[in-house]
Amino acid sequence: MRPNNTFYSDWDRESLGDRHLPENEYRSAFEIDRDRVIHSTAFRRLQGKTQVYVTGQSDQYRTRLTHSIEVAQIGRSLVNYLNRTSDLLAPEYQIDDALVEAACLAHDLGNPPIGHKGESRLNELMDPWGGFEGNAQSLRILTDIVRGDRRGLGKGGMQPTRALLDSILKYKVVAKANTRNGAKFLYPEQAEIRAWVHQKVDLDQLSQTGIMVRPIECAIMDLADDIAYTTSDLFDGVKQSVLNPAQVQEFWGSEFPAVSDELRFRLDEVLKGQFPMSRFVAGVIGHWITSVKLIAVEQPHLNTPRYGFELELAKSAKAELTALRALNFSLIYNSDYVKIPESAGVTILEELFSYYRDVVLGKRTVQADLALPRGVVEEKDVAVKMRHICDWVAGMTDKYALRLHAHIKV
């Protein structure tokens, strides 16, 4: 039995709507959050969604599902390390590992097929109706779609806790029009949910200036995400021979002087088949986790321990993480091996969305084998119809989108 954890209050544990739990419920509020995410349809669909390498190119690549599981594992490890080593925490005053695990498992629920390129293209296509954003879609799934039927605030969704929703709210700006570059925003109708999570409107204004205003659980989830995708995308790239030693040596050049010679040497050994990639990845992940420490915030944005701390990553570890991320962007994400199938997938996604959009706008008749999703026909408001169409397309796996696309008749 865990001691009473005073790091969290009843306010943090409050759920968005009544959960109708049995009298003998043995789980904590945050354990219920985690379990409901794991058992959701949206979570299962992640197994068929592209992380970086389009699904089907190989049977050993990470998908959104395996990526989310790896993020959760790293997130738990970060929490365990901080709880056990930080002088700012105590057995009765700790960061909750189940809460962080739930946030990590849920952080990519809203991502559409075909990875980040699919997300950016869907944002462009949805521009007349408020745009599309993966984080906002994750929030929409948790509060409106999973276990619910779009019945309004507190009546649909999985009745998540306030702390869980805050843990996935990396971006707090409401409406695409209020952003600098048309990315990283919440949908206008989600202002009510953000207000339920916290009433501090100035957090929105701070977010518009580029300041990351978030609780410690969100910071841990974000770092775990960075660590997971940086190492796993590199791992998969090496396994598929997307990289070679000469490329990497040229990339290093005079860049990233803070990166240790040992890391460069080890990566070169990996690329030459002289050192196991699995051991390289395990080593850097372990080093980065143990390079993290907790810093107290003098003037927290909210009067709760969740906003009372920040993460600080040691300079050497931060330099390594930054360098390997840059290497991935330069040599993997921009490689033909990634870009060519990704481009073909984005075209499929665009044509599917355009078909449903044209049916909704009366520009074409509906095909029997491509009927409108449930609930759209009865809806009168075009903007609401299009948001439901966006839900439908964004929720598809890569293969399901490909199968539907095969039925489109121009």
- Cβ atoms of 109 and 34 within 8 Å: the answer is no
For the chain, give the mean pLDDT.
Answer: 89
Residues 345, 349, 354, 359, CA torsion sign = positive
Does residue 52 carry a pLDDT above 80?
Answer: no
Q: So what's the pLDDT on residue 257? A: 78
Distance, in Å, from the CA atom of 62 to the CA atom of 237, rounded to the nearest integer, reads: 11
Q: So what's the pLDDT on residue 58? A: 52
The model's pTM: 0.93
- Cβ atoms of 245 and 238 within 8 Å: the answer is no
Query: What token pair was written down for 154?
Result: 């507190």
Which range scores top for mean pLDDT: 91-95, 147-151, 154-158, 296-300?
A: 91-95
Q: Which domains does the chain have, with CATH numbers?
A: 1-18+25-109+146-170+214-334 (1.10.3210.10), 337-405 (no CATH)
Tally Cβ neighbours within 10 Å of residue 222. Answer: 21
Query: What token pair was written down for 392?
Result: 């439908």
**Exposure string over 177-212, b if 16+ CB within 10 A, otherwise e:** eebeeebbbbbbbbeebbeebbebeebbebbeeeee
Distance, in Å, from the CA atom of 207 to the CA atom of 203, rounded to the nearest integer, reads: 6
Among candidates 162, 187, 177, which has minimal Cα distance to 208?
Answer: 177
Does residue 335 carry a pLDDT above 90?
Answer: no
The residues pairing with 90 across neighbouring beta strands, listed in sequence order, are 93
Average pLDDT, stretch 346-357? 94
* Range from 13-22, 208-217, 395-404 carrying the lowest mean pLDDT: 208-217
Q: So what's the pLDDT on residue 1? A: 42
Does residue 53 carry a pLDDT above 70?
Answer: no
**Exposure string over 125-150, b if 16+ CB within 10 A, otherwise e:** bbeebbbbbbbbbbbbbbbbbbebeb
Does residue 273 carry a pLDDT above 70?
Answer: yes
Q: What is the pLDDT of residues 117-163, one digit of tens each?
A: 889 999 999 999 999 999 999 999 999 886 555 455 555 689 999 99
Average pLDDT, stretch 270-292? 95
